[in-house]
Amino acid sequence: MPHKENYVNLKVSDGTTMSAYVARPQGAGKHPGIIVFQEAFGVNPYIRNVADRFAKEGFTAIAPELFHRTAPGFEGSYTDFPGVQPHTSALTNEGLEADIRAAYEFLGNDSQTEARKIFSVGFCMGGRVSFLADTVIPLAASVSFYGGGIAQGLLDRAKYLHGPILLFWGGLDKHILPEHTRAVEDALRAAGKEFGNVTFSYADHGFFCDQRAAYNERAAKQAWPMTLEFLKYHLK
């Protein structure tokens, strides 16, 4: 279990309090920041590990608990999707935008973080939130892993993206279909936004998470250095 000192409590503009896991890099001076947006299964060991991996790469990483209004501290089972549905269904864009701003403000006010070099990354549900975040706050860049619902509900926001975005998809995904990924690409292209669009034809939804049955080591090991290169390029 992570230590209590790894967590902070953030005041959200709607009056709620949101816990968030924070992983810090070693070394003095200011570091770039990254907001890590969870899957539907909470800020669980996998998401905390992703934040730790970014910290080892020199980022101050914060993973906010997006279910703080319905289930503070929630960690769901990857084999019990019905158990997460009440919490995903309760999310609203307005609430998520407030959560995004709270995490961004934490990094912006953090003495060890470079306020003008903040990024986001998200997985599954969090992939959608990472896209949304890029339209809400002035991110340097963002990354979205298999973000469900972007095509169905966020295409009209493509024109508001602040930073370039890198999108990853699984070609075997039965929920995010080729027509959905094409719609996202078309919207970004029409909006004149800078983006990367990567589909691993042999990978399924959730391929990056080594705690899921759908984990694909080959795709995950390719996506990680691509993600780091994309983010570090936009540090310049």
H or E segment to which residue 181 belongs: helix 178-190
Report the Cα 54 to chain-centroid distance in Å.
Answer: 12
Q: What angle do the packed helices 93-109 and 125-136 form, to 10 degrees?
A: 70
Question: What is the CA angle 46-178-97, rounded to 5?
Answer: 50
The model's confidence at residue 3, banded by pLDDT at 50, 70 and 90, is low
Q: What CATH number did the domain enclosing 113 receive?
A: 3.40.50.1820
Contacts of 116 (CB under 8 A, 6+ apart): 140
Report the mean per-residue pLDDT for the chain: 96
Spatial strand order in the sheet of 7-11: 7-11, 17-23, 60-64, 31-37, 113-123, 141-145, 165-170, 195-200
Give yes or no for residue 156 having a pLDDT over 60: yes
Residue span of the structural domain in which 178 resides: 4-233
Structural domain count of the chain: 1
What pLDDT, on a 0 to 100 scale, did the predictor assign at position 236? 81
pLDDT tens per residue across span 75-94: 999 999 999 999 999 999 99
Q: Calculate mean pLDDT across residues 188-194.
A: 98
pTM beyond 0.95: the answer is yes
The model's confidence at residue 28, banded by pLDDT at 50, 70 and 90, is confident
